């Protein structure tokens, strides 16, 4: 995940191998007359870590103005264009910590809370008074300085995002609709997917198609299918293709190439390699041994 900001970069997490979050520290200018940034693909949280200043942001035709101090948090959602300016309230240095969250994590959070993806717009806020989010951001800054592993960074960021979405988007009227266990596919939904895979072994089956069968995002589907079966959709498809291939080699008169094609393998050599990895022998050897 690339990292850039308005101020001068001090340090960031690019060398730490973090997967779904990126964190960077910036020294901000004492005065910013005007800044119009491109829409960012990631959700961005900014924590003020040093300095006091007044920031103005234009939202459509309205101009919003707030005072920032250490501990202040602002959030920009994916796709929103930043239009802002600020002026320092003193001579002290201005520094900020930026957190960027991969879209997959945002989608999974909304799915997990049973919220439409368009609701993410409700997370956009110029100044957020939330001690939990500010504390999580501080913890991520410490993790950056200490070179903590990605698992820790992902976990802290995910907890902050879930807290934020639950508090701001899943209000009391909507909380009753949150699934009791959104991390598991229902029995009927899972069976629908398994039946589809079994009926389309010879075709290229995409993640979007499978997720559409149960009306969830591809990110949520990948996580819940893997939890339900113990295999990723791709790994599961490979497994049932190879089982079907073994059955055809035992019971049919199809050539090895025909078996490969009927089970979704366009390359006989790739089929042979996958079959050997699964059964320990080549397709031809397997047929002769039966």
Q: What is the pLDDT of residues 198-225, one digit of tens each?
A: 999 888 888 889 988 887 777 778 878 8
CA dihedral sign of residues 7, 8, 11, 17: positive
What's the gap between Cα 244 and its chain centre? 34
Cβ atoms within 10 Å, residue 193: 23
Kindly list the structural domains of the chain, giving each domain's residue range(s) and its CATH number in brackets, ordered by start: 8-175 (2.60.120.810), 183-290 (1.10.10.60)
Round the average pLDDT of the chain to a whole number and report it. Answer: 85
For the chain, give the percent of residues with pLDDT over 70: 91
* Residue 177 burial (C-beta neighbours within 10 Å; 0-12, 13-18, 19+): exposed
* Residue 263 burial (C-beta neighbours within 10 Å; 0-12, 13-18, 19+): buried
Q: What is the pLDDT of residues 79-109, one digit of tens each?
A: 887 777 888 877 678 899 999 998 888 887 8
- pLDDT grade, residue 37 (50/70/90)? confident
Range with the lowest mean pLDDT among 123-127, 170-174, 193-197?
A: 170-174
Collapse the DSSP code of 86 into the 3-class scheme (helix H, G, I; strand E, B; otherwise coil) and give the result: strand
Question: Helix axis angle, 103-112 relative to 218-229, nearest 10°?
Answer: 70
């Amino acid at each position: 995940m690339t990292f850039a900001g308005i101020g001068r970069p001090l340090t960031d997490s690019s060398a730490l191998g973090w997967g779904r979050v990126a964190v960077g520290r910036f020294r901000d200018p004492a005065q910013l007359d005007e800044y119009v940034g491109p829409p960012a693909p990631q959700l961005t949280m900014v924590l003020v870590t040093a300095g006091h200043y007044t920031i103005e942001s234009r939202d459509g035709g309205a101009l919003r103005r707030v005072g920032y101090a250490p501990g202040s948090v602002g959030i920009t959602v994916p796709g929103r264009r930043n239009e802002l300016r600020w002026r320092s309230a003193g001579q002290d240095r201005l520094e900020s910590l930026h957190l960027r969250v991969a879209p997959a994590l945002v989608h999974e959070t909304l799915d997990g809370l049973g919220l439409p993806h368009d609701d993410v717009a409700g997370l956009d806020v110029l100044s957020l008074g939330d001690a939990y989010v500010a504390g999580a951001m501080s913890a991520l800054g410490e993790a950056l300085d200490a070179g903590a592993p990605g698992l820790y960074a992902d976990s802290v960021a995910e907890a902050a995002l879930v807290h934020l979405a639950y508090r701001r988007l899943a209000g009391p009227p909507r909380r009753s609709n949150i699934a009791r266990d959104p991390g598991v596919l229902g029995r009927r939904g899972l069976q629908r997917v398994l039946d589809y895979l079994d009926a389309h072994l010879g075709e290229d089956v995409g993640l979007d198609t499978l997720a559409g069968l149960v009306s969830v995002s591809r990110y949520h589907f990948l996580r819940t299918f893997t939890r339900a079966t113990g295999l990723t959709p791709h790994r599961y498809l490979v497994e049932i293709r190879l089982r079907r291939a073994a059955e055809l080699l035992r019971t049919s008169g199809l050539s090895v190439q025909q078996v490969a094609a009927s089970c979704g393998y366009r390359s006989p050599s790739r089929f042979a390699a996958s079959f050997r990895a699964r059964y320990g022998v080549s397709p031809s050897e397997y047929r002769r041994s039966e």
